[in-house]
Amino acid sequence: MPGLLFDTLRGTNGSRRPVWLMRQAGRYLPEYRELRARKGGFLPLVYDSEAAAEITLQPLRRFGFDGAILFSDILIVPYAMGQDLEFLAGEGPRMSPRLVDHALSALESVPERLSPIYETVRLVRAALTPEQTMLGFAGSPWTIATYMVAGEGSRDQHETRAYAYRDRGAFQAIIDAVVATTVDYLEGQVIVIPAHFTRCHGPSPCTRIHSLSDFLSRTPQKPCHAACPLRLYRAGSSRAADRHA
């Protein structure tokens, strides 16, 4: 560490282009499917630090990638904020209670739910060569809020958009809480951070841009983040590229 990919992101390397894939760890690998079958599901894998570290490292062993992307899930953040999380076979994640029906203030924070993720990071970093870079990730505030409000994902986020228009104050409180938890979560990772800004079909461009801009402005203020390049994946939000540069 920090490795070739880290150096390239900081503009200090010119020897060759590093290679990594955003979804390089996962179900297309037979070794992953075998491990998941033994552990019994996705969330048990995420919360077994040794298993999650093994999955993070599997594609590096097979393909020699330059970056190891943390095996976890963006919904670990609202899970640590006090919502329940489960992954249903063939249906995806479900969160409860849904904030369209319950107040954010009713949630009781469970920060220790992040501890196994930090242990996964420690195990992976210890296993990497000096030329390999560890990448963590977190979801955008809007992405996470859509799951917290509706309890599940959807193509158009209709329920969340309606809620955001109906009660702007309550929705902004959710966004603010997600930003604060995410910044602390990334502090615990202290690595190159690809922030996934997906689910961009929100109430308005202004709402989406403001929530991400707040997140981006606060993240580098942490001393441990200042030296880490922030990589942003912004599917569907190219109109805001100049604001996030």
From 27, 61, 62, 166, the catalytic residue: 27
Give the Cβ contact number of residue 210 at 10 Å: 17
Asked whether the beta carbons of 45 and 39 are under 8 A apart, the reply is yes
From 32, 47, 79, 147, the catalytic residue: 147
Annotate 85-102 with DSSP letters as a single string.
Answer: EEEETTTEEEEES-TTTS
Give the Cβ contact number of residue 160 at 10 Å: 25
> Active-site residue 16, yes or no?
no
> Active-site residue 233, yes or no?
no
Give the Cβ contact number of residue 50 at 10 Å: 11
From 36, 113, 125, 231, the catalytic residue: 36
> Active-site residue 27, yes or no?
yes
From 47, 66, 73, 161, the catalytic residue: 73
CA angle, residues 177, 179, 182, in degrees to nearest 5: 105
> Active-site residue 73, yes or no?
yes
Q: Taking the mean position of all CA atoms in its chain, how far away is CA 209?
A: 18
Helix spans in 10-127 (H) = 30-39, 42-46, 49-63, 76-80, 115-127
List beta partners, residue 100: none
Q: Catalytic site residues? A: 23, 27, 36, 73, 147
